[in-house]
Structure 1
Amino acid sequence: VFGYGKEEDKLFYCAGSGIYRHILGGTVVEQAVNGSLTSIGNPKTMLISLAVMDDDSFLVACSVDAEYKIYRYSYSADTSSVPEKEIKVYSLEDCSVLRQAISVYQKQNPDVYVDLEIGMSGEDSVTASDALRSLNTDIMAGKGPDILILDGMPVENYIQKGLLEDITGTVEAVSREDGLFENIMRTFEKDDKIYAVPLGFLLPVVQGDEAVVNAAESMNTLAEQIAEIREENPHTGRIMIPTDSSDFLEIFYNLENAAMRNEDGTLNEEALKAFLENMKKLYGEPITQEEQENTIGYFSAAEGGASNLDGLRLQSMVLLSQQSKAGAGWIGSVSQLVEILGVNQACGLDYTELKSEGKSVFLPYQSVGISSKSKEKELASDFLKALLGVEVQGTLNAAFPINQKGYEKAMEFAKTTYGGGGDDAAGGASITMSDSSGSMSSVNLGWPGEEELDGLKALLEQAEVPASTDDTIWNAVKEQGEKYLNEGLGLDEACSNIIQKVNLYLAE
């Protein structure tokens, strides 16, 4: 957003990175306000307008989670432009949730600068393996970060090598105050000590008719059921969605990867073969370009919020149009539950938790640890408390918050979108679609009743097995798994290639 100052040749503009001044005709842009140190740097802040006042202060009108605010920024000779203290945060990939948390923390702690380093910017050819080698070198040299966002990293390996600090005291202090989901907060507990903690988590679910739902106790039984439905419906292109093989593989790999791992971290060859064989039964024949264009979508975590119904997944549309018979994915918000229930009501379907050999699995989201070599452990612990606190947790929409008060706050926000009125609510919205033949389908999206919400809460509390989030191992499975599903690569060769790559990686 733009604004003029007292002098007509001075143009000011505001963006997430800060407020800037430019003299028309000149070649220099000067930063007047550092966005990373203020509320305008929060990814949830939607800018509306900028006003430059006669005293050279700035007014910024914006909205944050549908609440309108005006921020005022003025010059102070007594305030340092650079905070006196600094902590370093490292994440393999950028994440708006993390940037939002940093913004909240720096607003609460203006004397601390949080320096965020992203290992894979996407602007170069750096892979997860490349980034981790560089990170490990810095850690061992004593130049590494204070806080590690561990998604994509070999967490168990870091714990064994003593690279993560014991954060039990910090985590349990937050739990006593707000209540954390006990089963999730101890994801990375070893010898009664917690070395990392997820900020949130997701659950695997399957959606379909009664036969599909009843087969969800294991991947084996589900694969047999989907194969049977395929035989009975030879003219249905995709029995189960998503259609993209990479997305499909990732959903079930996250479900099964803990069961495929040996105690030393290597992959069990027999379990890996069984996994790929079941994937073939679930996925079916390689997808055609026409299918890819006409049948897409699956439900998974989304970075966007639920407002304006932008959380509606394409999977819902595919099931509504009866192009497919079932869908699988990971859910991380009550908004996704709303969509699932709406489609179920319209199509006579059901949903249930997808299990791994009868066990409840969850996917950790944005797991955080403190480096044992950090020189700012007290500050890092303070930052971790902010990440686990209600203000940050209550705005999570990509995963269920680990903080139970934050979970309730997120529920209240989602409730306003869907008319939130309990069992007798008529629904917050109705969405209608038509296919190429002109056939119309519609779905009502209304706030779930107490029974549905209690059922979701029970699923959250009983999750017991954490999925691995090591990107390097997943990439090896993905590469060979797609060749097995789509390009005719043999099962034995695919397994051999995966195990060879994983073993080489673990030996480094």
Structure 2
Amino acid sequence: MLKKIESIILSWVIIIAVCSCSIKDEGKMENEGEKKNVENVSDEEASWLSTELWLPDGVEFVNSLNYLLDGTLRIATAGQDAAVWDSQNEGGGWEKPDADMSLTSDYGYHYSSEGMLYVYDDEKLVLSPADGSEMKTISINDGDQFISTAISNNILAVLVQNMNSMQLHVEIYDLQTMEYRSLDDLELSEYLSNSQSDVGNVALNSTGEILYIAIDGTGIGRYDLKRNQYSYLIEQDLFQNLTNSEQKEGLNHEAEICTGFAVDDTEKKIVLCMLNMIKNQSKLYLCEWGIPEDKEQASKDKLRIYSLKKHGEIQQAVSLFQEKCPELEVTFEVGYTGEDGVELSDAIRTLNTELMSGNGPDILVLDGLPADSYIEKGILEDITSIVDQEKENIFYNIISAYNKKESIYQIPTTFSVPIILGDAEVIDAKNRKELMDILEKKAVTGLPLITPENFAETAVDLFITSDILEGTIDEAKLSDFYRDLKQIAKQSFPDNEIDTSEEFSRMTYWAEEYPYIGFNPEMDIFLGNAQVGIDKISSFETYLEVLSVCSEKDLSYQYLNREKGNYFIAEAVFGINCTGKYRDDAKQFLRYYLSGEAQSAMSYTGFSIIRDMMKDSKYVSENGEFVGSKTRDENLDKGLNLYKVTPSKLQGLIDFFEGLNTPVKDDAVVLQKVMEQADACLFEGKDPESSARDACSEINLYLNE
């Protein structure tokens, strides 16, 4: 078990152990005997499959796990009710063994494949040999700490982190001679040095000849200690696919990290221990090499919810809904991760093909998808009746504006508002042309219009609130847009030097992150580093900063580019596939989401479409108390003072939201292609006309498909 994680959550574990139910002698799985047969499976037809295992009754935190010599899976728990459990059928049933528990440690028990007890902390490891011989202690070198250990056949493997360099390395001990060696294999060293995480675990097979290493998010490595050969047991991409939420019992990386694993000697079974960082609970997953179920048949067995990109809050809502309706199996699928070589446009094409064939997901999260096309083609179900039931409790103006017709096909459930911050002259600008004229006048002061850090977000917000995209994309307007960006950059970057060395300085980076982007123009204006701010009111925290800087600097805020309407960014937009197999269950999910029950129990970005959720915010009070200062300087005198929102100011914000009437144009592929050419124009010297022509060529081809 990873020491760093254990030290952080130890107090949580103790609380969990005290509050948990009393542990019974045996826990049984209802689906015992349903495991797939992994023997005699040809590589051509097989793949890795994952299934969640039941833990013994009352067990919430698993401290360690390993396979014993006879194939028994052993787990140990930590805390006040520390215990050891064995299962001879991978979680089909659990029983308490007659295991040695003579040593004590805040970090809990660990066992070798022979059942030998050992405990360890960051600095030393203590072994209680199974043959009753004298206990042994192994101390860590100065400046190092133990991260994970495994023992088998008198071989000890230790994953070590150097606290100065933060680099990981592996040490192997022969417990008979007490000699040790550090593994210096080039491929292994590269694997460890390239890892972006210090969350790691090791395991050994029963002979102690094969070492397995898993660094969080990088797959499972395999090292033959006799031949000194490194390879992958499960490569990174395969491991991520195996543990994503598209699987029937998939692991959720949004909320879980791997804290331990065990590999049986056939290397066809791997048990992963995942820790849910929100609930502070462990889960065990059995990954088996076997024949998968037919995907089309599997799709008939569950309510499928699809999102083009990862969406943590919806994943959280799915989990809450699953707990509320345990009889209904719900899965959350992500079409584009950016990590598997699949292009964004290809992911949408794959979804479209599935929808047109009548086998698509039941619920679509429409963020970034061509929803208007889906409505025209009759793919989305009319859900007006669901919205009408909550009409008095929601910002109906936003839902109405998003659908543009009397019938409701799409439900935005959270939203944010692009705004412009500045003096009266700035906020009077109704469109980008007027704004550019005003900015040109203000450029002569020598003070940057915006800071370089805010440039990328400004570019994205100016585009999505423009009229450049109307059915197809207007090449002349896009060329003007690129020309304006170059002018703003000239007036905002010191000595006209644009830093291209950092990934986050590029607009394509933030197009990928949209709509979850944002720096802090309010602080730049407050500190006198900028004249203008383009931002989004996306939370009460943002709104407090906007109010504060407006008060301090005698400024105001307004909708951005409001000539064609008052724009809003809709997020977590739900639609129901009219050919879905579980439309009634899909409607049940939407009713649950709109009732506010889900959102009151979860964290989410943006403001809720449910109006009353605003009144319950911790940032609203009768007296508008001081809540703190925000600063980038050690001198607190320069802090931006923040105060809670009084009822009158809250009503002002609600009135501002009631004026929203125009959704932004935020097709994910279009935004990506536009910002690719924006980067080329600003960072690579490409002229605006060529950039616009190349962008339109790709975008209009995509839009006409």
Could you say whether these structures have the same fold, taking a TM-score greater than 0.5 normalized by the shorter chain as the test? yes
2:468 pairs with 255, 260, 276, which one? 260
Q: Report what 2:532 is aligned to.
A: 326
2:313 pairs with 74, 92, 97, which one? 97
2:581 pairs with 375, 388, 393, which one? 375
Consecutive unaligned residues in structure 2, runs of 5 or more: 1-8, 18-22, 26-53, 76-89, 94-242, 258-274, 284-297
2:497 pairs with 283, 288, 291, which one? 288
Determine if contact 2:55/2:91 at 8 Å carries over to the other structure: no
Determine if contact 1:333/1:397 at 8 Å carries over to the other structure: no
Quote the RMSD (CA, aligned, Å): 4.2
Say whether residues 1:472 and 2:681 are aligned partners: no
Determine if contact 1:296/1:315 at 8 Å carries over to the other structure: no
Determine if contact 1:202/1:399 at 8 Å carries over to the other structure: yes
Q: Distance in 1 between matches of 2:319 and 2:500?
A: 43
Say whether residues 1:142 and 2:355 are aligned partners: no
Q: Report what 1:108 is aligned to.
A: 324
Q: Report what 1:363 is aligned to.
A: 569
Q: Report what 1:182 is aligned to.
A: 396
Amino acid at match of 1:206: I
Q: Report what 1:335 is aligned to.
A: 541
Determine if contact 1:241/1:328 at 8 Å carries over to the other structure: no
Determine if contact 2:62/2:282 at 8 Å carries over to the other structure: no
Determine if contact 1:297/1:315 at 8 Å carries over to the other structure: no
Q: Distance in 2 between matches of 1:290 and 1:350?
A: 31
Q: Distance in 2 between matches of 1:252 and 1:454?
A: 27
* Residue 159 of structure 1, CA deviation: 0.8
> Residues 70, 324 of structure 1: CA spacing in aligned structure 2 closer, same or farther, 3 A cutoff?
closer
Count how many residue pairs are aligned between Structure 1 and Structure 2: 445
Q: SS of the residue aligned with 2:368?
A: coil
Q: Distance in 2 between matches of 1:303 and 1:248?
A: 14
Q: SS of the residue aligned with 2:367?
A: coil
* Residue 401 of structure 1, CA deviation: 1.1
> Residues 279, 401 of structure 1: CA spacing in aligned structure 2 closer, same or farther, 3 A cutoff?
same
* Residue 460 of structure 1, CA deviation: 0.6
2:425 pairs with 190, 211, 222, which one? 211
Q: Report what 1:201 is aligned to.
A: 415
Structure 1 or 2, whichever has the larger Rg, is: 2
Q: Distance in 2 between matches of 1:243 and 1:414?
A: 27
Q: Distance in 2 between matches of 1:124 and 1:372?
A: 30
| Mapping for residues 227-246 of structure 1, pairs under 5 Å | 227-233=440-446, 236=447, 238-241=448-451, 243=453, 245-246=455-456
1:388-427 superposed Cα distances (whole Å, 9 cap, x missing partner): 2212344564111111223333xx2333xxxx3435x3x1
Q: SS of the residue aligned with 1:194?
A: coil
> Residues 31, 283 of structure 1: CA spacing in aligned structure 2 closer, same or farther, 3 A cutoff?
farther
Say whether residues 1:399 and 2:606 are aligned partners: yes
Of all paired residues, the percent bearing the same amino acid is 26
Q: Distance in 1 between matches of 2:309 and 2:336?
A: 6
Amino acid at match of 2:312: S
Q: Report what 1:52 is aligned to.
A: none
1:32-54 superposed Cα distances (whole Å, 9 cap, x missing partner): 999x999x9897999xxxxxxxx
* Residue 381 of structure 1, CA deviation: 0.6
Q: Distance in 2 between matches of 1:500 and 1:23?
A: 56
* Residue 479 of structure 1, CA deviation: 1.1
> Residues 397, 206 of structure 1: CA spacing in aligned structure 2 closer, same or farther, 3 A cutoff?
farther
Q: Distance in 2 between matches of 1:20 and 1:140?
A: 45
Q: Distance in 2 between matches of 1:248 and 1:171?
A: 34
Amino acid at match of 2:598: V
Which structure has more RCO (C-alpha within 8 Å, separation ≥ 6)? 1
What TM-score do you get using the length of structure 1 for normalisation? Answer: 0.75
Q: Report what 2:118 is aligned to.
A: none
The structure with more helix, counted as a fraction of residues: 1
Q: Report what 2:233 is aligned to.
A: none
1:274-331 superposed Cα distances (whole Å, 9 cap, x missing partner): 43333333333666367999x9999999979xxxxxx9x5434322322222210222
Determine if contact 1:202/1:332 at 8 Å carries over to the other structure: yes
> Residues 260, 356 of structure 1: CA spacing in aligned structure 2 closer, same or farther, 3 A cutoff?
farther
1:235-273 superposed Cα distances (whole Å, 9 cap, x missing partner): x3x4214636543321111111xx2233xx101233333
Q: Distance in 2 between matches of 1:32 and 1:193?
A: 50
Say whether residues 1:221 and 2:434 are aligned partners: yes
Determine if contact 2:363/2:575 at 8 Å carries over to the other structure: yes
What TM-score do you get using the length of structure 2 for normalisation? Answer: 0.56
Q: Report what 1:431 is aligned to.
A: 630
Amino acid at match of 2:348: L
Q: Report what 1:130 is aligned to.
A: 346
Determine if contact 2:305/2:362 at 8 Å carries over to the other structure: yes
Q: SS of the residue aligned with 1:134?
A: helix
Determine if contact 1:13/1:21 at 8 Å carries over to the other structure: no
1:352 pairs with 539, 554, 558, which one? 558
Amino acid at match of 1:203: V
* Residue 198 of structure 1, CA deviation: 0.6
Q: SS of the residue aligned with 2:571?
A: strand
Determine if contact 1:205/1:354 at 8 Å carries over to the other structure: yes
Determine if contact 1:296/1:318 at 8 Å carries over to the other structure: no
Q: Distance in 2 between matches of 1:279 and 1:290?
A: 15
Q: Distance in 2 between matches of 1:495 and 1:348?
A: 39
Q: Distance in 2 between matches of 1:347 and 1:500?
A: 45
Q: Distance in 1 between matches of 2:277 and 2:455?
A: 39
Determine if contact 2:522/2:549 at 8 Å carries over to the other structure: yes
Q: Report what 1:414 is aligned to.
A: 619
Q: Distance in 1 between matches of 2:445 and 2:451?
A: 17
Determine if contact 1:129/1:472 at 8 Å carries over to the other structure: yes
Determine if contact 1:144/1:374 at 8 Å carries over to the other structure: yes
